[in-house]
A and B are shown apart, each in its own frame.
Chain A
Amino acid sequence: DIQMTQSPSTLSASVGDRVTITCRASQSIGSWLAWYQQKPGKAPKLLINKASTLQSGVPSRFSGSRSGTEFSLTISSLQPDDFATYYCQQYNSYSRAFGGGTKVEIK
């Protein structure tokens, strides 16, 4: 089965910072990767699919990229509303494994 390794598990940053979260797949998944944002007590929200396709309504400060089996979610200028936990998920195979999550905290 495909495993997704996400890093860091916690990230402390300030408003206006550029932050990058990384997700590595244990084998090739093409660009079949999604990123989610989850706030406490809420369901996750799909931000990006196909590694880099921004969903409708998602601010353009969010972007996704791929290099081989390594994927990145970048927030170009962190806003107060962005403090949350972020997850990657692969959907290349029948199984849909999530990464372990990255909590973005206020520094």
Chain B
Amino acid sequence: QVQLQESGPGLVKPSQTLSLTCTVSGGSISSAGYYWSWVRQFPGKGLEWIGYISYTGSTYYNPSLRSRVNISADTSKNQFSLRLTSVTAADTAVFYCARDRNEGLDVWGLGTTVTVSS
């Protein structure tokens, strides 16, 4: 079965770039029909969809984050990554990667907490 695991620094300084990687096992990120998403959850709050990269490599981002977000994929490693630039304390959250079959997010990683602080 497909499994996803997030990895990356748990602490990022303000104004720097947050970088996370999601490693996919049990399936290929190049498989047709799949989109690979990032979602975040602020402390004690709801979910915010960040964006996705599709099996074709096309990307789409939450308009509220578009100027700061980049999602890329490394098919040789079966990974996809998130970069969020110019972070502030307001970007502190739990970040999840998830598989999207255009029918909802059906497989999720466990999540990783990223704190923005000096």
Contacts and interface: CB of A to CB of B under 8 A. Distances in A.
Chains A and B come from one and the same complex: yes
Interface of A: 1, 34, 36, 38, 43-46, 49-50, 55, 87, 89, 91, 94-101
26 contacts: A34-B103, A34-B105, A36-B104, A43-B98, A43-B110, A44-B96, A44-B108, A46-B105, A46-B106, A49-B104, A87-B46, A89-B47, A89-B104, A89-B105, A94-B60, A95-B60, A96-B49, A96-B52, A97-B49, A97-B62, A98-B46, A98-B47, A98-B49, A99-B46, A100-B46, A101-B47
By size class, the interface of chain B is 20 to 34
Given A1-B63, A87-B46, A98-B48, A43 B103 contact: no
B47 A91 contact: no
Contacts of A43: 96, 98, 108-111
Nearest to B104: A34
B67 interface: no
Nearest to A45: B108
Contacts of A46: 104-106
Contact of A55 (B60, B98, B106, B109): B106
A44 B46 contact: no
A87 B104 CA distance: 12
Given A95-B60, A97-B49, A98-B46, 9 more contacts: A36-B47, A43-B109, A44-B105, A49-B103, A49-B106, A91-B100, A91-B102, A95-B62, A96-B49
B104 A91 contact: yes
B37 interface: yes
Nearest to B58: A94
Identify which of B60, B63, B105 gathers the most chain A CB atoms within 10 Å of its CB: B105
